[in-house]
Structure 1
Amino acid sequence: MALYRLGQLERGRDNAEAAVAYFDRLLETPRNLFPREEALIAKARAFQEAGDARAALENYQKVVDEYGDSYTAEEARTQISELSAQLGLGSDTEGN
């Protein structure tokens, strides 16, 4: 949980690189200690806020692929559609 909060703090400071590093460390922890989909979507948001649409898109897609039935997957699908349109790509997520 501390890693998630530190990542969010760095996002608030517009320091996406540090935020992503914290979220990556969080993703390496055992799954039962923190919801992995929360870390993935936070990582995607950090990339998006930093202007790295492709990295954001990749991480949003991981949320959909790995946690398609979770509440975070709906946000991920929405962001995939928006980023795909920005990048001139077709949206290829399941359920769209």
Structure 2
Amino acid sequence: MVLLDQTTGRYFELNQAGATTLDALLDGASLPRAAQLVSDGSREGTQQALTDLGSFLGRLTDNGLATVEEPHDSPDRIGILRKGIDAFRKTTGTARKGGGA
């Protein structure tokens, strides 16, 4: 998956784990559910995936690609891609538009 910042024209390529996680979050998955999708299914693996997810979201935010906001109705879900960021799935050519602040 590749992220495109329309304001700067910069592309950011995600590895498979990042793409799987981002897809899950964009589909409304909770943080624990997104972590389960990329973990080995064990408790320790899911905990490590949650830690890695925090780092991943931090990198997206630091690069201006995401906003991390907890919706009032569901605090374990987040708003992810900011407006002007598009996600392109390289293998299928599908695109997803960011819509956050």
TM-score by length of 2: 0.27
Greater fraction strand: 2
Greater fraction helix: 1
Structure with higher RCO (Cα < 8 A, 6+ apart): 2
TM-score by length of 1: 0.28
